[in-house]
Amino acid sequence: MPDLPNLPDARDESGRLIRELHGVTLAQILEYLVAAYGWPELDRRIRINCFAVNPSLKSSLTFLRRTPWARAKVEELYIRTRTAEVLGKR
């Protein structure tokens, strides 16, 4: 789990802290980010080839599951985006 010390505690609809990623799969995280930003913006925010060259959920999930540093960056972006959304700052 990424270390996000400057982020306020925000809770999802079920009352769980967003930063804990409790019950959220990597696939759900990626689907959320693609819907929120699209592949080009994801590539701009997190420079990973699987977001730039023929991006797909399947290929990106395969890469992220095998690459801890990339997965951590994706999880951090998700936590920051969801927190901003829940707190109404998006």
Domains and CATH numbers, the chain: 26-86 (1.10.720.30)
Return left, alpha or beta for 78; rule: phi > 0 is left, psi -120 to 50 is alpha, else beta.
Answer: alpha
Give me the sign of the Cα torsion angle 62, 63, 69, 73: negative
Confidence of residue 87 (pLDDT cuts 50, 70, 90): confident
Confidence of residue 4 (pLDDT cuts 50, 70, 90): low
Which pTM value belongs to this model? 0.86
For residue range 25-65, list pLDDT tens digits in order. Answer: 999 999 999 999 999 999 999 999 999 999 999 999 999 99
